Structure 1
Amino acid sequence: MTDFTPGDIVEIETDSGKAYVQVTHNHSSYPPVVRALDGLHESRPDDLEGLATGATRFVGMIPLGSALQKLGRTCEVVAHVDVPEDQKPFPTFRMPIRDKKGEIVYWWFWDGRGLSYDVELTEEQKALPLREVMSGERFLELLVNHET
């Protein structure tokens, strides 16, 4: 198992090219939080720091090393770059709470410390990542899909 540090840029081999994520946070009870950096690349970009200051495609929690290893994918820490200011606060994750019929009754919001809730999602809350530990399969799917 690889230990990752916030700021690490991790290169991931996919069938569509090299993808890059930045580890943004570690939490004592969950796997690392990562942000997927924009684009798929034929070769490693010269300016990884520039890539890290660019757009975030999605944010998720994943046991990165072990999840990719189970899929036979390689990953490697290729740089360490400061986490951008707008990504430094621990992200808020959303989680639906359902009734016995499977209907969403309300939403929990978790900021790494505590929970809050709301009955209806605002447009801003709809963009929050789900509070889930991603599978390697789902993670790779999101990495190679341009419409996250």
Structure 2
Amino acid sequence: MTDFTPGDVVEIATDKGRAFVQVTHTHSSYPPVVRALDGVHAARPDDLGPLVSGPTRFVAMIPLDSALDKLGRAHEVVGHVEVPEEQKPFPTFRMPIRDKKGEIVYWWFWDGRGLSYDVELDDAQKALPLREVMTGTRFLDLLVSENI
């Protein structure tokens, strides 16, 4: 098992090429937080800096090593690049709270320290990642998806 640190860039072998993620945060109670970097690549870029400073496809909490090992996906830390300034604050995650019928009653928002809530989501809140430990299969599907 790898002990990831914020800034680690991990290359992941997919059926479509190499995908890259950057570990942005660790939390004592959850798996690492990673941001998926843009694109799937035929080869590892010589300079990871432009890739890391580029867009974030999605953010997830995932036990990266064990999830990818279970899927039989080769992966390795290929560099360490400072987390971009806009990614340094711990991300806020959203979580639906449902009634007995399964209807969403309100939303919790978690910023790594505390909770807040709201009844309706605005557009910015709709874009927040879900507070879930993502499965490896879902993670891999999102990495190679062209539509996120």
Could you tell me the TM-score, scaled by structure 1's length?
A: 0.99
Question: 1:69: how far off?
Answer: 0.1
Matched, 1:50 2:47: no
Question: 1:47: how far off?
Answer: 1.9
The share of aligned pairs that are identical, in percent, is 78
Counterparts of 2:60 and 2:146, CA distance in 1: 16
Question: 1:100: how far off?
Answer: 0.5
- Residue number in structure 2 paired with 1:137: 137
Amino acid at match of 1:103: E
Note the aligned Cα RMSD (angstroms). 0.4
- Report the secondary structure of 1:65's partner residue: helix
Counterparts of 1:126 and 1:146, CA distance in 2: 20
Write the mapping of 1:10-49 to structure 2, written as runs, cut at 5 A.
10-49=10-49
Counterparts of 2:60 and 2:97, CA distance in 1: 19
- Residue number in structure 2 paired with 1:3: 3
- Residue number in structure 2 paired with 1:105: 105
Matched, 1:81 2:86: no
Question: 1:45: how far off?
Answer: 1.0
Per-residue CA distance 1:67-109 (angstroms, 9 max, x = gap):
0000000110001000000000000000000001100000000
- Residue number in structure 1 paired with 2:65: 65
Counterparts of 1:77 and 1:30, CA distance in 2: 20
Could you tell me the TM-score, scaled by structure 2's length?
A: 0.99
Amino acid at match of 1:63: P
Counterparts of 2:18 and 2:92, CA distance in 1: 28
User: Which runs of at least 4 in structure 1 moved beyond 3 Å after TM superposition?
Assistant: none
Write the mapping of 1:113-124 to structure 2, written as runs, cut at 5 A.
113-124=113-124
